A and B are shown apart, each in its own frame.
Chain A
Amino acid sequence: MRRLIGCLLAGVFAVGSVVGLTVSAQAEGERFVLVSHAPDSDSWWNTIKNGLTLAGEHVGATVEYRNPPTGDIADMARIIEQAAASNPDGIITTLADADVLRGPIENAVAKGIPVIIINSGTPEQAADVGALMYVGQPEYDAGLAAGQRAKRDGIGSFLCVNHVVSNPVVGERCRGFADGLGVELGSSMIDSGQDPSEIKNKVKAYLAANPTTEAVLTLGPTSADPTIEALKENGMAGSLYFGTFDLGTEIVKGIKDGTIQWGIDQQPFLQAYLPVVVLANYKRYGVLPGNNINSGPGFVTKDALGKVEEFAGEYR
C-alpha cells in the first residue's frame, strides 16, 4: 500500500512538472483565453478549438481554451473570473446568458483586459458589457432568413429540435424561423436533450404524432446527426424538408445525399481565428476594426460542397 501511494504521488508530480515546463516554455508572446459555454460533449466546438490553435500559431501567441464541463453557465462565470485573475492579454468569450456573465465580463474589462464576444449573444449585449466587438452570427436574423427561405420553398409547419434548451440565444433561431415562415412557434420546439438515441427517438415520436409536419430544423450537429438517423429509420429521409444550423461530417453527407436541403454555416473557424488576430494587433499596434464582424450566415447547399467536405469537423 505504501509503495502504491508512493508511485501515484511520484506520477502526479512527474505529470505536474512536465505541465509546468510546457507552461513556462509557452510564456513568450501574448496570452489569450477563449471561454465557451459548451459542455465537453458538444463536438461542434472542435472547429473553434482548431481555429484558435491555428490563429495562435499564425500570430505567435499562446492561446487557451476553457469551458464548463457540464455546460453550466454559472460555472462558466467562475471560469471567466479565473481567466481575468490570471491577467491574460485578452479574453474571448461567448455571452450565452447576459444576466450571469455580465458581472465577470465587466470586471475583466474594468481590470483593463480587452474582451471580444463571439458566437452567442448579440452585438448590442457585447457593447453593453464593454467588449471591443462581437464576432458571430446574429441568431434571430439567421433563423429569420432560414424561415423566409423555407417559406419560398412552400413550407408551412415545422419541428425545431433544440438540444440546448437552456441557452436562450440558440432558441432565438427557432423563433426567427417561425417568424420567417409566418407561423406561431407554439409547441413545435422540442427539448431533445444531448443524448443521441434520446434525440433520435424524440424526433421519431414527434413526427409520428404530428404526421402533417412539413419541415424539420435542427440547431447543430448534436441534434442534426440523430435526426438524420431518425428520418432514415422512419423512411422520411429525402421527402421531409430538412434544414440545419451549423455543419459537421454527417451533415455534409446528408446535404450530399439529399436528406438535408441546406445547412447554415456560421463559420465558427472565423469566430475563433479572427478575435485572436484582432486582439494581437490591438495589443501590438493599437489598431482595431471599426465594427462588429458577422461570421455568418451562409447557406451551404449541394452545389458548393468541395472545401466544406474536405474540412468538415476540422475547420468548417
Chain B
Amino acid sequence: MSQADTQTGSPNGGPPEEDVDERIREVSSLRKALVRPELGSICGAVLVFVFFFLIARDSGMFSPEGILNWSVVSAQFAIIAVGACLLMIAGEFDLSVGSMIGFSGIIIALFSVTLGYPMWLAIIIAFVVALGIGWLNGYLVIRTGLPSFIVTLAFLYILRGLTIFIAIKTTNKTIIGGVRDAAEGDWLAAVFGGKIFKGLFVWLGDQGIISTFVAGNRAGEPVVDGIPMLIVWAIGLVIFGHILLTRTRFGNWIFAAGGDAQAARYTGVPVNRVKILMFMFTAFCATVFATCQVIEFGSAAADRGLLKEFEAIISVVIGGALLTGGYGSVVGAALGALIFGVVQQGLFFAGVESSLFRVFLGVILLLAVILNTYIRRTITGER
C-alpha cells in the first residue's frame, strides 16, 4: 500500500499537489529511482546474466537459437507470473494455475480435434470456460471467507482430475494429438502459435548473421525463423499489467484490496469485484499459456502444467512481491520470470549435473527473497 501511494499519488488517482506540504518528507530523486519493488530483481537479472556469461558463453547459450530457447521459457513463466502477481498483490493465491493449463489445453483439443469444431471456436470456448472457473474460484473465496490457498488447492485437484477424466472418457487416451492439422490456416490459432518478423530472420540467415540448417527439408532456412507469439503475448501482458497496476484507479484498488481489505472497503473500494476479476485474469493467463503450448506442440496432454502454479509464484516472489499482498510489481514479476527461465536453461548450457538444478533454484529463491526483504525494509522503514 505504502509503495503504491508514493508512486502513484492518492488512491483516488488525483494529481499530486504542487505546493510543498510540510507533512511530506523530502526524498531525493536518486533514492526514489533506486528504491522500487523491482530493484532486487533488476540486480538479480544483471547478476544472473553476468554469471552465465562468465561460465557458459561458449556453450551456444548466447547464440540466436540459444537466446530464443531461454527467452521462450522465460516468456512462459512471465505469462502466468503476470496473473499470479496481480492476484497476489490483491491479497490472494491461485494454486490451480498448473491444473488450469492442462484443463484448457484438453478443452481446446477436445473441441477442435475430437468434436471437429473450428479452431477459433475451440479456443474461445476454452477461454470462456477458464474465465468461468476463475470467477467461481474468486466467488467461492469471497463468499466462504476461506483462504484462497485452500479453495484453489481444491481446484488444483478438481481440474487435474477432470482433465484426465474427460480425456480418457472421450478418446481413451490422456494425450489428444492432431491439433496442428486442426489449427492449419486458422486465424485465431496464428495469434497464439504463429511467429512474427519471419522475413527479417530469413534475411539475417541469408546474410550469414545467424546460422542456417544444413540438412533435411529445412536446409538453408535460418535456425531461428521468427519471434514466437508466445513472447509477444508475454511482453503484451507485462505491459498491460504494469500500466493497469501503476497508472489506473483500478491498479490502486488492487493494492488497496491486498493491503487491508477492510480498510479498502471503508473507503469505497469494490474489494470483492477486484479480487474476483483478478482470479479471472489469472485463469485467462493460464489459458493463454495453454493455448500457445497446444498450438505449438500440436497436442494436449492431461499432465501438462504440473507444478506451474509454484513456478508462477516463485517468479512473482523473486520479483519482489509480498506473499501477504498489497506490495509488488508486474515488471518485477517479469524480471523474476526472466531470472527463473535463464537459470533453468542456463544450468543446462553450463553443463551442471541436472540433479543440482533444484539446489540452485532454491538458493536463488532464498537470495532473492532476502535481498527483496532488505530493500522493502529500506523503503517502508518497517523493522
**A and B together in one complex:** yes
Chain A residues at the B interface, C-beta cutoff of 8 Å: 1-2, 4-5, 8-9, 11-13, 16-17, 19-20, 22-23, 26, 40, 62, 64-67, 69-74, 77-79, 81-87, 97, 99-100, 103, 106-107, 109-112, 130, 165-166, 168, 171, 191
- In the complex, chain A residues whose CB is within 8 Å of the CB of B28: none
Q: A4 to B373, alpha carbons, bound, how many Å?
A: 12
Does B207 interact with chain A (Cβ within 8 Å)? no
Nearest 9 pairs of A and B residues by beta carbon: A20-B55, A110-B213, A99-B299, A166-B303, A110-B216, A85-B66, A100-B297, A86-B60, A70-B306
Contact between chains at B349 and A86 (CB < 8 Å)? yes
Judge whether B297 and A99 touch: CB under 8 Å.
yes
- Residues from chain B with a CB closer than 8 A to the CB of A71 are 303, 306
A12 touches B51 (CB 8 A): yes
Interface pair B214/A111, CB less than 8 Å apart: yes
Contacts of A100 in B (CB 8 A): 297-299, 301
Residues 195-246 of B contacting A (Cβ, < 8 Å): 211, 213-219, 221, 223
Q: Please state if B370 and A5 are interface contacts (CB–CB under 8 Å).
A: yes
By a CB distance below 8 angstroms, the chain A residues around B349 are 82, 85-86
Closest approach, in angstroms, between the C-beta of B346 and any C-beta of chain A? 9
- Using A22-B351, A111-B223 as known contacts, list a sample of 16 further A-B pairs with CB atoms less than 8 Å apart, ordered by residue number in A: A1-B373, A8-B370, A12-B363, A66-B348, A69-B307, A70-B306, A81-B65, A82-B70, A85-B66, A85-B68, A97-B177, A99-B175, A99-B179, A99-B297, A110-B219, A110-B221
Q: How far is the CB of A205 from chain B (nearest CB, A)?
A: 16
Kindly state whether residue B320 has any CB partner on chain A within 8 Å. no
Residues of A within 8 A of B298 (CB): 99-100
Stretch with Cβ within 8 A of A (4 or more), from B78-86, B144-152, B265-273, B354-362:
B354-362
Chain A nearest CB, measured from B223 CB (Å): 6
In the complex, which residues of chain B have a beta carbon less than 8 angstroms from the beta carbon of A16? 51, 54-55
Bound CA–CA A288/B236 (angstroms): 49
Q: Measured between C-beta atoms, what is the minimum distance from A78 to chain B in Å?
A: 6
A79 to B345, CA, bound (A): 8
Chain A contact residues: over half helix, strand or loop, or mixed?
helix
Smallest Cβ distance from B377 to chain A, in angstroms? 8
Contacts of B370 in A (CB 8 A): 1, 4-5, 8
In the bound complex, how far is the Cα of B174 from the Cα of A9, in angstroms? 44
Q: Which of B216, B303, B350 contacts A20 (CB 8 A)?
A: B350
Contact B354 A78 (CB under 8 A): no
Contact status A64-B351, CB under 8 Å: yes
Q: Is the CB of B51 within 8 A of A13?
A: yes
Q: With A9-B367, A74-B293, A106-B216 given, is the CB distance from A19 to B299 under 8 Å? A: no
* Least CB distance, B72 to chain A, in whole angstroms: 7
* A112 with B363: CB separation less than 8 A: no
| Distance (whole angstroms) from the CB of B19 to the closest CB of chain A | 38
In the bound assembly, the distance between CA atoms of A17 and B50 in angstroms comes to: 12
27 contacts between A and B (CB under 8 A): A2-B374, A16-B54, A23-B55, A23-B59, A23-B351, A69-B357, A71-B306, A74-B293, A74-B304, A77-B297, A78-B69, A82-B69, A82-B70, A82-B349, A85-B349, A86-B66, A97-B177, A97-B301, A99-B175, A99-B177, A99-B299, A100-B301, A106-B216, A107-B218, A110-B219, A111-B213, A112-B215
Partner of A17, one of B55, B65, B218: B55
| Beta-carbon nearest neighbor of B165 in chain A | A191
Say if the beta carbon of B173 comes within 8 Å of chain A: yes
Residues of B at under 8 Å CB distance from A? Answer: 47, 51, 54-56, 59-61, 63, 65-66, 68-70, 72-73, 164, 168, 173-175, 177-180, 211, 213-219, 221, 223, 293, 297-299, 301-307, 345, 348-352, 354-355, 357-358, 363-364, 366-367, 370-371, 373-374
Contacts of B59 in A (CB 8 A): 23, 86
Q: What is the bound-complex CA distance between A72 and B352, given in angstroms?
A: 20
Q: A297–B371 Cα gap in the complex (Å)?
A: 54
A97 vs B168: C-alpha distance when bound (angstroms): 17
In the complex, what's the smallest C-beta–C-beta distance from A80 to chain B, in angstroms?
A: 10
Find chain A residues with CB under 8 A from B179 CB.
99
B299 proximity list for chain A (CB < 8 A) = 97, 99-100
Cross-chain contact of B348 among A4, A9, A82, A191 (Cβ < 8 A): A82
Q: Kindly name the residue among B54, B217, B306 whose own CB sees the greatest number of chain A CB atoms within 10 A.
A: B306
Q: Is the CB of B354 within 8 A of A65?
A: yes
> Could you say which of B72, B357, B364 contacts A78, with CB atoms under 8 Å apart?
B72
State how many angstroms separate the Cβ of A90 from the closest Cβ of chain B. Answer: 14
Known: A9-B367, A16-B54. A166 touches B301 (CB 8 A): yes
CA distance A40 to B219 in the complex (A): 36
| Known interface pairs A19-B350, A99-B298; A85-B175 also in contact (CB < 8 Å) | no
Contact indicator B55/A19 (Cβ below 8 Å)? yes
Whose C-beta in chain B lies nearest to the C-beta of A11? B363
For the complex, give the distance between the alpha carbons of A53 and B55 in Å: 23
- Which of A11, A20, A110: most chain B CB closer than 10 A? A110
Contact of B363 among A8, A17, A26, A79 (CB under 8 A): A8
Task: Give A163 to B340 CA distance when docked, in angstroms.
Answer: 30
In angstroms, how far is the closest chain A Cβ from the Cβ of B303?
A: 4
B298 CB to closest chain A CB, in angstroms?
A: 5
B355→A40 contact, CB < 8 A: yes
CB contacts (< 8 Å) of A112 on chain B: these are: 213-215
Least Cβ–Cβ distance between B213 and chain A, in angstroms: 4
**Shortest Cβ distance from residue B209 to the other chain A in the assembled complex, whole angstroms:** 16
- The answer on a CB contact under 8 Å between A110 and B215 is yes
Distance of A215 from chain B, by nearest CB (Å)? 22
A264 to B: closest C-beta gap in Å: 23
Q: A20-B350, A84-B65 are in contact. Are A8 and B164 (CB under 8 A)?
A: no
Contact A97 B175 (CB under 8 A): yes
CA distance A26 to B54 in the complex (A): 17
Query: B303 — which chain A residues lie within 8 A by C-beta?
Result: 71-72, 166
Q: Does B213 lie within 8 Å of A107, measured CB to CB? A: yes
CB-nearest residue of chain A to B301:
A166
The answer for the CA separation of A77 and B76 in the assembled complex, in Å, is 13
B69–A81 touching, CB < 8 Å: yes
A191 and B164 in contact, given A71-B303, A82-B348 (Cβ under 8 angstroms): yes
Q: Which of A12, A78, A87, A130 contacts B216 (CB 8 A)?
A: A130
Rounded to whole Å, the gap between the CB of A276 and the closest CB of chain B is 16
In the bound complex, CA of A16 to CA of B56 (Å): 10
